[in-house]
Amino acid sequence: MWGKEKPSREAGKQGSRADVISKPIETTIGPNTHIKGDIQGDGGLRIEGIVEGNIETTGNLVISESAKVLAEVKAKNVSIAGAVRGNITANRVEILDTGRVWGDLTIKSLLINEGAYLRGQTYMPKDLKPPQIESITHLKSKPPAVKPAPPVTEKK
Task: State pLDDT tens for residues 91-144.
Answer: 999 999 999 999 999 999 999 999 999 999 999 987 777 787 766 555 556 666
Tell me, yes or no, whether 4 lies in a domain.
no
Tell me, yes or no, whether 83 lies in a domain.
yes
Tell me, yes or no, whether 1 lies in a domain.
no
Query: Which position has the higher pLDDT, 17 or 146?
Result: 146
Tell me, yes or no, whether 60 lies in a domain.
yes
What is the per-residue pLDDT for 58? 94
Query: Which position has the higher pLDDT, 33 or 17?
Result: 33
pTM assigned to the model? 0.69
Domain holding 22, by residue range, is 9-126
Checking if the pLDDT of 55 tops 70, the result is yes
What is the per-residue pLDDT for 17? 43
What is the per-residue pLDDT for 3? 46
Checking if the pLDDT of 57 tops 50, the result is yes
Q: How far apart are CA 98 and CA 45, in angstroms?
A: 19
Q: How far apart are CA 99 and CA 111, in angstroms?
A: 11
Cβ atoms within 10 A of the Cβ of 119, count?
Answer: 10
What is the per-residue pLDDT for 10? 39
Tell me, yes or no, whether 58 lies in a domain.
yes
Tell me, yes or no, whether 79 lies in a domain.
yes
Cβ atoms within 10 A of the Cβ of 28, count?
Answer: 15
Q: How far apart are CA 41 and CA 122, in angstroms?
A: 25
**Cβ pair 71, 52 in contact under 8 A:** yes
Checking if the pLDDT of 44 tops 80, the result is yes
Tell me, yes or no, whether 109 lies in a domain.
yes
Tell me, yes or no, whether 66 lies in a domain.
yes
Total domains in the fold of the chain: 1
